[in-house]
């Protein structure tokens, strides 16, 4: 455990990606199999295997009380130290003074006991026992992982590259195995023992979702003879696993959402064999018409869904791919997977073949208009001969979305970016006019070239009237044209609205601040969305809170 903590200290202190990869690779080569599995999970912030649906049940209150009992410091002091340093783990590293004796092999037994314990007092005692066996450095990372605060600059891609370097495996093989093997510990063992090719889709264990590329980002032309069209649904992307009569649902971030959609679970229990489906959970009207994503907000993030919520926001699962049907289908072409899907007792997103004799642009225009009329947000184009490329974003799936509208807005604040943009002002908060005052409607950071950002940084620095760290409050003189996919109500912005997926079209050097759009224009666009059913009016109580009436 001490070797792991020392390595993570070094990784945190290192900015270069290659150096981080080298440090982790050196560690992996020194660990036995059981140590490697535990360490790999911990590096990515997991203390339980990904296939284990349990949690440790350790929240701030239990963690703080256990730390107080072990260190002798009052809980108030631990809270203050955690806020001062940024998180609980860093506070533990300063407050714990005894040497650690915990090994990586011992950690799973402690974590399993925490997950099994239902009594709060018992969980606290178990955590106290664990902290008494950890030194300052080990406690730092255990504390971070237990509270979901592990931020050390190691993302999945960097972790996978470190395995490739450690064990001399092709990086492409590691990436493919990682897409099918959700657990970092299992992936590390496959890499170590040269068994990456054995990675398989297993019902009940989430796999990485295949992703679509925006049409404008794909340079290869569409081949209408090998392409079908589907409506792009506006819901929660969901992977449904049915195995042995047990249904588990996973969202695109690979978090489990089974308890969020009990009616979907009930509908899928009818399957008599193991299946894995890719699709979307949509909020629907009584007659089955799709409602906007906004309608789902009250259902998300809840462990238990009330009968009232189910009545107010009924949902349906719409499938559009079949990854497993008694056998893995991910390497089969789309048309074969689709044929298997259509034989299953589940609602399926309709598809239309493209017409090779008609211009592509003409077909997409007509199909896009029709999809919007059905309440959906755009189109999906899918190659009929393509396998399911788990975790990949390529040209086999393309999404066709168009800006709902554009607005001319005024920059009111700017913020320094991250990574290679850390030295420039690349994130812009912008506003429209409400009478004689500017009210914010959103924030954007994409759409400009590097040269345009550098030039804009120089201009905004000269307009800065107040600076707090990376944030600059600027005189409202710079006008941007912003494209966006829609509007939603917002309590965050004084305007009462926020733009959905805003991106910068251009800097309007030809316009002055007074030429920017007004709130009345935004309100009219909102009303147009309401009229077409692409947005819904918030409940009366929520509307009052927006304007402080």
CB of 496 closer than 8 Å to CB of 547:
yes
Tell me the three-class secondary structure of 455-520, residue by residue.
HHHHHHHHHEEEEECCEEEECCCCEEEEEECEEEECCCCCCCEEEECCEEEEECCCCCHHHCCEHH
For residues 504 and 446, is the Cβ–Cβ distance under 8 A? yes
Q: Is 276 helix (H, G, I), strand (E, B) or coil?
A: strand
Q: Cα–Cα distance between 117 and 58 in angstroms, integer? A: 10
Output b/e per residue, 303-329; b: 16+ Cβ within 10 A: eebeeeeeeebbbbbbbbbbbbbeebb
Distances (CA, A) of 418 to 19, 426, 470: 19, 9, 10
The C-alpha angle with vertex 159 and arms to 250 and 242, in degrees rounded to 5, equals: 20
Return the half-sphere exposure (C-beta side, CA atoms, 13 A cut-off) of residue 82.
Answer: 22
What is the end-to-end Cα distance of the chain in Å, rounded? 56
Query: Which of 332, 269, 259, 253 is CA-nearest to residue 300?
Result: 259
Query: Quick one: angle between helices 171-180 and 156-167, nearest 10?
Result: 130
Q: 531 and 375 in contact (C-beta within 8 Å)?
A: no
Three-class DSSP labels, 149-178: CCCCCCCHHHHHHHHHHHHCCCHHHHHHHH
Q: Please classify residue 237 by burial: count the beta carbons closer than 10 Å to its beta carbon, then call 0-12 exposed, 13-18 middle and 19+ buried.
A: middle
Cα distance between residue 322 and residue 271, in whole Å = 13
Spatial neighbors of 424 by CB under 8 A, at least 6 apart, are 416, 417, 453, 454, 457
Catalytic option among 232, 399, 401, 443: 232
Our CA angle for 180, 419, 47, nearest 5°, is 40
Asked if 511 is an active-site residue, the reply is: no
Instruction: Count Cβ atoms below 10 Å from residue 470 Cβ, excluding itself.
Output: 13
The torsion angle over the Cα atoms of residues 226, 229, 235 and 241, rounded to 10 degrees, is: -40
Catalytic residues: 232
């Amino acid at each position: 455990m001490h070797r792991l903590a020392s390595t993570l200290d070094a990784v945190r202190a290192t900015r270069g990606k290659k150096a981080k990869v080298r440090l982790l690779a050196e560690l992996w080569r020194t660990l036995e199999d059981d140590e490697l599995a535990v360490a790999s999970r911990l590096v990515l912030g997991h203390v339980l295997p990904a296939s284990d649906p349990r949690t440790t049940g350790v929240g701030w209150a239990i963690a703080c009380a256990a730390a107080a009992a072990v260190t002798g410091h009052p809980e108030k002091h631990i809270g203050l130290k955690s806020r001062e340093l940024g998180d609980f783990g860093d506070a533990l590293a300063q407050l714990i003074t005894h040497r650690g004796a915990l090994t990586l092999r011992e950690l799973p037994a402690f974590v399993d006991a925490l997950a099994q314990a239902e009594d709060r007092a018992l969980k606290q005692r178990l955590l106290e026992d664990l902290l008494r066996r950890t030194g300052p450095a080990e406690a730092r990372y255990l504390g971070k992982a237990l509270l979901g605060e592990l931020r050390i600059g190691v993302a999945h891609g960097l972790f996978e590259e470190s395995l490739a370097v450690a064990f001399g495996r092709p990086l492409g093989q590691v990436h493919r195995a990682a897409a099918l093997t959700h657990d970092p510990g299992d992936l590390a063992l496959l890499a170590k023992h040269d068994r990456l090719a054995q990675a398989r889709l297993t019902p009940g264990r989430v796999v990485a979702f295949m992703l679509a590329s925006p049409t404008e980002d794909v340079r290869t032309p569409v081949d209408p003879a090998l392409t079908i069209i589907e409506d792009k649904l506006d819901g929660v992307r969901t992977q449904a696993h049915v195995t042995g009569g047990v249904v588990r649902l996973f969202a695109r971030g690979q978090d489990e959402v089974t308890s969020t959609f009990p009616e979907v679970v009930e509908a899928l229990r009818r399957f008599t064999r193991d299946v894995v489906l890719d699709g979307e959970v949509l909020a629907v009207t009584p007659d089955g018409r799709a409602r906007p994503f906004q309608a789902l907000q009250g259902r998300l993030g809840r462990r238990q869904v009330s009968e009232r919520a189910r009545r107010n926001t009924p949902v349906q699962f719409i499938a559009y791919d079949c990854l497993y049907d008694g056998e893995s289908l991910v390497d089969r072409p789309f048309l074969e997977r689709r044929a298997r899907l259509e034989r299953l007792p589940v609602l399926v997103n309709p598809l239309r073949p493209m017409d090779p004799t008609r211009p592509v642009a003409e077909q997409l225009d007509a199909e896009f208009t029709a999809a919007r009329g059905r309440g959906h947000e755009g189109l999906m184009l899918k190659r009929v001969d393509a396998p399911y490329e788990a975790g990949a974003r390529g040209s086999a799936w393309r999404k066709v979305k168009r800006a709902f509208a554009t607005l001319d807005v005024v920059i009111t604040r700017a913020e320094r970016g991250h990574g290679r943009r850390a030295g420039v002002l690349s994130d812009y908060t912008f506003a429209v006019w409400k009478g004689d005052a500017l009210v914010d409607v959103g924030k954007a950071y994409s759409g400009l070239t590097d040269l345009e950002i550098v030039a804009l940084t120089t201009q905004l620095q000269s307009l800065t009237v107040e600076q707090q760290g990376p944030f600059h409050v600027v005189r409202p003189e710079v006008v941007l044209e912003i494209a966006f996919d829609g509007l939603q109500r917002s309590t965050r912005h004084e305007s009462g609205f926020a733009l959905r997926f805003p991106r910068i079209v251009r800097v309007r050097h030809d316009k002055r601040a007074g030429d920017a759009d007004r709130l009345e224009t935004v309100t009219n666009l909102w009303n147009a969305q309401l009229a077409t059913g692409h947005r819904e009016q918030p409940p009366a109580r929520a509307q009052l809170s927006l304007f402080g009436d």
